[in-house]
Structure 1
């Protein structure tokens, strides 16, 4: 799940649902989301506002959060943020017996403010300089890429090497790159290779 706001729009919304039989108190914050050396970095920002920032969700109820750009300016590519939703601890009732460990949930939702003409463009290379070979994928476009079903294909030997990606390590922001270990793989310089993957929901081959 993510939120996309076109650069000529000022706001969007997301729906939160509480499917439990107890009320839930939530804190909602927003951070600028960047990447450096393949690692996500979150920085507090005042470019996006969330309304409301605190919320009590009643049992089996829903609420629409407003996601608002503050002083929006035109952009040529994409700006990226993350909404962090934290479940807050419930008050302790000393009259009740201990119920064990109470696990508090945290959700992280990507927010993209994007120009409609922004594009994703990927290239790749195999890095054999480490003990375990890796597939380095660079996003030279100005829009994010979300990778799924990633696979290195040895077209000469007709052999495939699946690579695990998910919504944590599968995002490559604009002008950034990530490296993915290729297990049980030995590079053959006289072989031809390709990369099969799904990018932002579209299956493609590089």
Structure 2
């Protein structure tokens, strides 16, 4: 799952002022990471811009599911600042093509409320679900902060943008079925691909290969989601020790903490 990032707007006429505000980003694992604006916008120094304003809000939970036969998913937005914060909710269909995530605006879902203002230190309950007929599949719920007008000329404003996965389950007992393959790209690096032939999404938090004495050699710690009927790819480096023609065994750890193993033979691409 992709990591939520702040968006930014800049002004050509900077104004020097203290950097005291903070940005809070909620990742797919549910942890909240906080960084000062000075750290988050160090790259703006070359533009001569100085941050002046930002808001902070968190969302819980950060992974949304509508169970089979359910009507909606519910989450809470909490404003940890003293000033009100306004948020717009946008909904997208989420598919995967050739190992890449694809987002398409969707009218099949409805968010209630779609636009909201949360008072300082307040919270708001939000529901997202199918607009009408029975629905299944993967979606993205994107929360965008609506910034108020700047109070001073030359301010740099930050708008938070959080991207949450929403899974509408097709049936009870749905399971993922990952089929693994691999090849070397033009630069000689190994690319591993997981194809999901099942009916439930699968998260992958780490991939390794099983070496001698049943020890595991790490290949990738990049988080990924494989949707039903979709594919996800990991570039894991050259690893010349895996240059033989025979298969090697992968050790895959999922988001549920379970480990599975799968043989892979590097083939042509």
TM class by smaller structure: 0.7 to 0.9
Q: Judging changes above 3 Å, is the alpha-carbon distance between structure 1 residues 164 and 59 closer, same or farther for their aligned structure 2 residues?
A: same
Q: CA deviation at 1:153?
A: 3.0
Q: Using the alignment, how far apart are the partners of 1:41 and 1:155 within structure 2?
A: 39
Q: CA deviation at 1:192?
A: 5.1
Q: TM-score, normalised by structure 1?
A: 0.86
Query: Residue 196 of structure 1 aligns with which residue?
Result: 251
In the alignment, structure 1 segments of 5+ residues that lack a partner are none
Query: Can you list the C-alpha shifts for 1:41-84, whole angstroms capped at 9, x where unaligned?
Result: 111212210011101111111110011222232x6xx5111101
Query: Residue 163 of structure 1 aligns with which residue?
Result: 220
SS in structure 2 opposite 1:202? coil
Q: Among residues 211, 223, 234, which one is paired with 1:180 in the alignment? A: 234
Q: Using the alignment, how far apart are the partners of 1:20 and 1:158 within structure 2?
A: 48
Q: Among residues 58, 71, 74, which one is paired with 2:132 in the alignment? A: 71
Q: Using the alignment, how far apart are the partners of 2:98 and 2:114 within structure 1?
A: 31
Query: Residue 31 of structure 1 aligns with which residue?
Result: 92
Q: TM-score, normalised by structure 2?
A: 0.67
Query: Residue 178 of structure 2 aligns with which residue?
Result: 122
1:90-129 correspondence to structure 2 within 5 Å: 90-93=148-151, 96=152, 98=154, 100-114=155-169, 115-129=171-185
Please say if 1:82 is aligned against 2:140: yes
Alignment RMSD (CA, Å): 2.2
Please say if 1:141 is aligned against 2:195: no
Aligned length, in residue pairs: 197
Q: Judging changes above 3 Å, is the alpha-carbon distance between structure 1 residues 155 and 124 closer, same or farther for their aligned structure 2 residues?
A: farther
The answer on whether the counterparts of 1:10 and 1:72 sit within 8 Å (CA) in structure 2 is no
Query: Can you list the C-alpha shifts for 1:75-114, whole angstroms capped at 9, x where unaligned?
Result: 6xx5111101001121122xx465x422111001111110
> Comparing 129-138 with 187-196, which one deviates more in the overlay?
187-196
